[in-house]
Chains A and B, each alone.
Chain A
Amino acid sequence: MRIGVANLDMRYWTPGGDVNAVENVSFEVAQGEFVALLGPSGCGKSTILNIVAGLLDRTSGRVCLDDEEVRFGYVNRKVGYVFQRDTVFPWRTVEANIGYGLEIAGVPKVERQEKVKRAIEVSGLAGFDKSFPRMLSGGMRQRVALMRTLIMEPEILLMDEPFGALDTHTKLEMHKTLLEIWERERQTVLFVTHDLGEALTLSNRIILLSARPGRLKEDFVVPFPRPRDAVSLRETPEFGRLYSHIWHALGEEFRRTKAE
């Protein structure tokens, strides 16, 4: 077990009263698993991810990475994190952004440049090495952010709706890149999304959360064989069947969100 969450509770204090964001959530992610955390917006899925990353303090419950308790404010070097928002450093060129983690870790320049060059090739950013982020599209900037995290070779990858702000076509391209990398390297991934198609395309398992307060609703296995093709997978009947099955479960939660 790489990620262990047990009886996690999270309450926010707001002027309008306490808000229960997450209630009694427990799940585990095994070595090399790609797990999607799926739920309607506001269900606390990003909150769970941020607690696992040590970016947020929890109200109660246990959160472990490799049997080591996660402490708020402490960064675990095994963890890589990709944000939904654009967090690329605008004052650094593409290569300096991707090499950032290696640079501050003191990796020698020659070794660093080699790794950065390889990462740029893998991500399809070739030719933009010396560009500043403002010259890139949103999708390309997110590629930079992804490679900036992956170049550190994290064993555990936490992703917070990393493609949520991209258009459908760019999103599919990103799925292709991510599948290619993951099927080769098999990191342990916890991937937050509200996009069912995305969860089905990428993950081995989908954890479905209820509308606020976020509770564990169901746990689905995604049995599609690997390597997967991000586009043709969506056209198979199995994909359609599982999609509509989870859709009904998810639809209930969306309706509950709207009813509030």
Chain B
Amino acid sequence: MLRSRSAILFWQLAILVVTLSIWEWGFDLCRAVLPRPWVPKILDPYFISKPTGIWRSFLKLGCFADNAGFMSCYHENANNLWLATLVTLKNMWWGFLWGTSLGILTGLVLGRSEYLSQIFEPYIVAMNSIPRIALVPLIILIFGLGDLSKVVTAGIVVFFVVFFNTFEGTRSVDRDQIAAARLLGASELTVLKTVVIPSALAWVFASLTPAVSFALIGVIVGEFIGAERGLGKLIIEAEARANAAEMMVAIFVMMIVGIVLAFFVRRVQAYLLRWQPQFEEKA
């Protein structure tokens, strides 16, 4: 067990070191030893930069490398890495929040009412068939270049994921469990609170991890198409200057944001669903 765990760690580190090495030196090495047409273009630092270059860009964008000092750089550059990340996170959070709330609410209501779900079914199918990203220019037209349009975009993307899962979860609640609760004296509202919601929670949570990624996608795409600040804006600006290193910095920051948020969702999920076998506490 110990041996295999250290072996896994070894291979993981090996992959990391090899990837970074090829990224850093691969192109120069190929150019030195291979005839010109055989040099892989994809490794050109013009396209993918280099780990050291990305690090230097990170220090610059993060205001660590400025002679004037951190604070003055922070105030001078309105879209420095910190502010851009904060703005993107903030928009993502509000979009995630309203999208999730509305998704859960709608899912519960339609899931509990056969009548309403039949009325709304064609509209939901139609709305769901629209690629959400196609709505972004329209949303920016309506809500402007500011943060609101990003919040709306992220929310719409999140809404459908959470809605469908909550709806399915609500529909698949065990009818006998509901009958048992009613026979023990539960009112319709008590059944909702003590049986339907706890039972559907597993489904809701299954949608929250993708919902976090989708919220990030929604905000970034919104920023691509039109924004004043944010990580997406940072990428678009770097693209205009053909600066691969800066784009890579923003991409890495997004990766880290994604990892951290997914971790938090997992923790909350593991606590609330501790009655399920896959979240059993490891003794």
Point out residues on A near B: beta carbons under 8 Å: 53, 55, 75, 77, 79-81, 83, 85, 87, 89-92, 100-101, 104-105, 132-134, 145, 148-149, 152
Contact = CB atoms under 8 A, between A and B. Distances in A.
Interface string B267-283: 00000011111000000
Given A87-B180, A104-B190, A77 B277 contact: no
A152 to B, nearest CB: 6
Q: Dominant SS at the B interface?
A: helix
Given A53-B183, A75-B183, A104-B190, A90 B176 contact: no
Contacts of A77: 185
B179 interface: yes
B275 A101 contact: no
Nearest to B273: A91
A70 to B, nearest CB: 13
B2 interface: no
Contacts of B176: 83, 85, 87
A85 B194 CA distance: 19
Contacts of A90: 275-276
B174 A104 contact: no
Nearest to B201: A91
Contacts of B186: 104
Contact of B275 (A83, A85, A91, A100): A91
Nearest to A101: B184
Contacts of B194: 89, 100, 104
Nearest to B190: A104
* CB-CB nearest 9 A-B residue pairs: A101-B184, A87-B180, A91-B198, A91-B275, A132-B275, A81-B183, A87-B176, A87-B177, A104-B190
A19 B273 CA distance: 42
B174 A87 contact: yes
A87 B195 CA distance: 11
Given A85-B176, A90-B276, A148-B180, 10 more contacts: A55-B179, A83-B179, A83-B180, A87-B176, A89-B177, A100-B181, A104-B184, A132-B275, A149-B184, A152-B185
A152 B184 contact: yes
Given A83-B180, A87-B176, A75 B185 contact: yes
Contacts of A132: 274-275
Contact of A91 (B182, B185, B199): B199
Contacts of A83: 176, 179-180
Contact of A104 (B185, B199, B201, B277): B185
Contacts of B274: 132
Contact of A134 (B185, B190, B199, B276): B276
A100 B190 CA distance: 11
A87 B181 CA distance: 9
Give chain B's interface residue range (CB within 8 Å of chain A).
20 to 34
Contacts of B276: 90, 134
Contacts, number: 57
A77 B180 CA distance: 13
A149 to B, nearest CB: 7
Contacts of B180: 81, 83, 87, 145, 148
Interface of B: 174, 176-177, 179-186, 190, 194-195, 198-199, 201, 273-277
A92 B190 contact: no
A92 B275 contact: yes
Contacts of A149: 183-184
Interface centre among A83, A87, A101, A149 (most CB of B within 10 A): A87
Contacts of A101: 184-185
Contacts of B275: 90-92, 132-134
Nearest to A53: B183
A132 B272 CA distance: 13
Contacts of A145: 180
B279 to A, nearest CB: 10
A89 B195 contact: yes
A75 B198 contact: no
Nearest to A83: B176
B273 to A, nearest CB: 8
Nearest to B193: A104
A149 B199 CA distance: 20
A38 B29 CA distance: 85
B277 A134 contact: yes
Contacts of B184: 100-101, 104, 148-149, 152
Contacts of A133: 275
Contact of B183 (A79, A91, A105, A134): A79
Contacts of B183: 53, 55, 75, 79-81, 149
A176 to B, nearest CB: 24
A172 to B, nearest CB: 25
A15 B194 CA distance: 36
A141 to B, nearest CB: 12
Nearest to B274: A132
A90 B185 CA distance: 19
